[in-house]
Structure 1
Amino acid sequence: MASSQEQEIVQIFMENVYGKSPDTSQQNQNHDGKKGHWLEKQMGIKPNASNAPDLLGFEMKNQTTSKTTFGDWSPNYFIFNDKEIIPREKGVTAVHRRNTHFLPIWGQPNIEKENRLSWSGKPIPKIDQWNGFGCILLVCPNNDIEIVYDYQRDLRLDKESIVPQRYRQSPIVIARWDATKLAKKVNDKFNQKGWFTCKTDNFGVYNQICFGDPITFNNWIYLVKIGVVFYDSGMYETNPRPYAQWRANNSYWDSLIRQTYP
């Protein structure tokens, strides 16, 4: 039998969301998350930066086209913030160091955006696979996650003019997520009561709310190890936000659904 919290969430959905299409006319039309903000408002969720579940112990997810995000969780370590490698300079911000010492080396120019540098798409490695930028995503024995760069595996024809000498000698870690901190994020968000997602029909009208069981960090890190959960960075030089998204395809999320209403 469903918990009282789950029943309450279903009631909120049926009264405020079911049978409706998102009204985003009062929101910034250039904002990708405008439909999600509408849904949050309808469900009584106030936007916040808390790592607690969204509603009554459950984490809410909105239907998206193909991928759904676990969280925007940045690395605890970036090489451009390493004082031993890049000494601090007065008045120089972390974003400036990123744009000067990171994106020109491991990012790629976007021709459609006037060659704006970004660390997204091709430069981002998959688990246990070296990419053309000489990078690989690894899960360490202690469950830390690292992105490692190896100059010898860098296939870019212009790498000699891009990569400083200090990064050419041996494989180096350019980003790392601490397992303890990741575990807290996953367990705080998803390992309480569980999670739910609100789905729409082909016309964009909300017609279902679906619930899944809690997800532990051990479950989550295993999914990273087998490539079901992947890192999907959206970093680019004109925006200070790192956009460090951990995601899974919707087909996987759907496989976790245990109950659907109505």
Structure 2
Amino acid sequence: MSAHDQLLVVIDPVARRIDGESVRIAKDVLCAGAAAKICLPDGPEEFSRALTRRGGRRPVVVGDDHALLRAVAALYRGRELGDEPLSLVPVGSVASVELARSLGVPTGAVAAARTVLDGVARPLDLLADDSDGVVLGDLCIPAEAAAAASVLHPASVWDTCRSLVRTLVRPAPPAPAPRAHRLRVEADGVLLSDLDDPVEDVRVRAGDGAAEVTVTHPRHTGAEPLRTLAKVVTVSGPGFRYRADTLDVGPVRHRTWTLRPKGWALTLPPAGPPE
């Protein structure tokens, strides 16, 4: 039996808890089509350790987007991500497997398990940062919404009634406008925005051989979003948070993301992503 037919199936504990039936179906299909070693880790550390000690078996993850990202991060830190393709059987709610769906993995247990057995490895780009973090889909640095604050003072019954009437008569206050970042954004060494040029939103996505960078200025300035392609994106500022795929990170003061062309491979259906 070839190494291609020998699988290490790592089943995320969250998947076992929320949808045991889909997990069982995936196991049955995989075990019927290959020599599959089933691993049932109890937590993130065991999950990562199982992948790095897989030997010559092909890694298969059964779980949601968080499980996929955990697997990619573990293999990347061990400098093993490009050694062989990763396979995924998405298990979770529709929202929790959105990244998997966007990458082209079937979201049904049977179809996904069959793709593990009969699919093809497709090289994909990713973004790697200077803290060993990875981004497979979208990176977003949004300005936080300004929190509306109110102070309640003691008042008489009459004052309370008058306040209630004013509330009922007056229109509702508008939603708080998003705050602007004070960020320095560079793409391949070219300055896109500096600390004195506030931005509302910065987005980066690994494209086909280049990262797509979009910098949006506050709406009241009337400026169109700035878009460019780059291999290296650096953002710095007085402390900012960002969302990498489904993970929230920060605050940090500096981060550099570098495109890794074909930095990993995912097993996908031979005919391409499902409709």
TM more than 0.5: no
* Relative contact order higher in (CA < 8 Å, ≥ 6 apart): 1
Q: Between Structure 1 and Structure 2, whose CA radius of gyration is higher?
A: 2
**TM-score, with length taken from structure 2:** 0.28
